[in-house]
Amino acid sequence: GENVEQHPSTLSVQEGDSAVIKCTYSDSASNYFPWYKQELGKRPQLIIDIRSNVGEKKDQRIAVTLNKTAKHFSLHITETQPEDSAVYFCAATPGANSKLTFGKGITLSVRP
Amino acid sequence: KAGVTQTPRYLIKTRGQQVTLSCSPISGHRSVSWYQQTPGQGLQFLFEYFSETQRNKGNFPGRFSGRQFSNSRSEMNVSTLELGDSALYLCASSWTGGSSYEQYFGPGTRLTVT
């Protein structure tokens, strides 16, 4: 089955800097890659996703890139703000009839 | 549209007891997935129900079971509770029609086993 790994497990950046979180996946059939943000005590929220027919997707300060050959995808956050501090989960799935496999999450801390 | 709801939000049970958790998906969503979240382990998949049938299953013991009703509401049951079952249990709903895979999470049920 699919295996999703996130590195590093924690990341600390200065406010205003950029943050990059990388995930790798194992199943070459995976074609949907969402990112979730979970603030302390709250539910995971879908923030951006990408499908395998697209190499990059942007939404204001966040972007996701996908490298199918290397089987990795990354979340890019520019001009980080303290409210970006949270746990970020990546996930992958081969399709709608398959389960979504999550990475273990990365804790992002933005220092003011 | 109302979001995904879960009841109860908090539960304290004793080892050996059983517990039932409930999840109401977003209106129109037919798939409900359940996850166990513990510190350091991320979101571990329990099972997914679609149109009242279990479609996918994770690697949890048979003490964990679920079901889905005709209105897409889902319940999860854990029998013979163990201390290690203490966790946040999250459900997520999705439409899974066409190429739509987005899952939306409920607030979770915090289960404490003493």
Instruction: Label residue A67 left, alpha or beta by phi (over 0 means left) and psi (-120 to 50 means alpha).
Output: beta
**Residue A98, pLDDT score:** 86
> Which positions 78-107 of A are in contact with B (Cβ < 8 Å)?
89, 93, 95-105
Q: What is the 3-state secondary structure (H, E, C) of chain B?
A: CCCCEEECCEEEECCCCCEEEEEECCCCCCEEEEEEEECCCEEEEEEEEECCEEEEECCCCCCEEEEECCCCCEEEEECCCCHHHCEEEEEEEECCCCCCCCCEECCCEEEEEC
**Residue B99, pLDDT score:** 57
Alpha carbon A9 to chain centroid distance? 12
**Residue A7, pLDDT score:** 83
Size of interface A-B (CB pairs under 8 A): 57
**Residue A95, pLDDT score:** 80
Cβ-based contacts of A101 with chain B (< 8 Å): 45
pLDDT tens for chain B, 114 residues long, are 789 999 999 999 999 999 999 999 999 999 999 999 998 788 999 999 999 999 999 999 999 999 999 999 999 999 999 999 999 999 999 986 555 678 999 999 999 999
- Which residues of chain A register pLDDT less than 50? none
**Residue A97, pLDDT score:** 80
**Residue B2, pLDDT score:** 84
